């Protein structure tokens, strides 16, 4: 995943030492759950702008740690300033002392992983910007 991110130019975004970032990083399993034909298509040079858009959609300027996520919080991403929505989801029927954190339609499976330039939250799905149609990828 790191090599793919570097190839797509994401390393240039994250190397800005003056700006901290929050990275919503899909787990290895999240990448494996992307259909194989789409994964292969995204790695084709002619689809590099789509891959870059998807990767930038996982990056938000600023540091957002888990305890700062309010229900319905909106973060602007490094992809066309599009927003992602974070929320707390209560699973208890007897009050809400246990929460899960969600970003769009994915869940945060590991929160607040410290990085030298911000924080990383591991998520269980690859986020796809709503304005991208993966059916248009060249295969």
- pLDDT digits over 5-55, tens only? 545 556 666 666 678 889 999 999 999 999 999 999 998 989 988 988 998
Could you tell me if residue 4 is left (phi over 0), alpha (psi between -120 and 50 degrees) or otherwise beta? alpha
pLDDT given for residue 6 in this prediction = 47
pLDDT reading at 111 higher than 80: yes
If one compares 74 and 14, the residue with the highest pLDDT of the two is: 74
Exposed, middle or buried by CB within 10 Å (0-12, 13-18, 19+), for 120? middle
Rounded distance between C-alpha atoms, residue 127 and residue 116, angstroms: 23
From 136, 130, 122, select the one nearest 38 (Cα to Cα): 136
Q: What is the mean pLDDT of residues 77-85?
A: 81
| Residue 28 φ/ψ, nearest 5 degrees | -55, -40
Handedness of CA 125, 127, 130, 132 (dihedral sign): negative
């Amino acid at each position: 995943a790191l090599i793919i991110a570097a190839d797509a130019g994401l390393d240039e975004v994250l190397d800005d030492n003056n700006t901290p970032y929050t990275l919503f990083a899909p787990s290895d399993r999240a990448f494996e759950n992307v259909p194989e034909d789409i994964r292969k298509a995204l790695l084709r040079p002619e689809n590099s702008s789509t891959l870059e858009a998807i990767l930038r959609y996982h990056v938000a300027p600023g540091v957002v740690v888990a305890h700062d996520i309010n229900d319905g919080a909106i973060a602007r991403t490094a992809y066309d300033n599009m927003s992602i929505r974070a929320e707390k989801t209560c699973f208890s029927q007897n009050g809400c002392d246990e929460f899960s954190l969600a970003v769009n339609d994915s869940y945060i499976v590991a929160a607040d992983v410290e990085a030298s330039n911000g924080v990383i939250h591991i998520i269980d799905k690859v986020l796809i910007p709503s304005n991208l149609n993966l059916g248009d990828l060249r295969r």
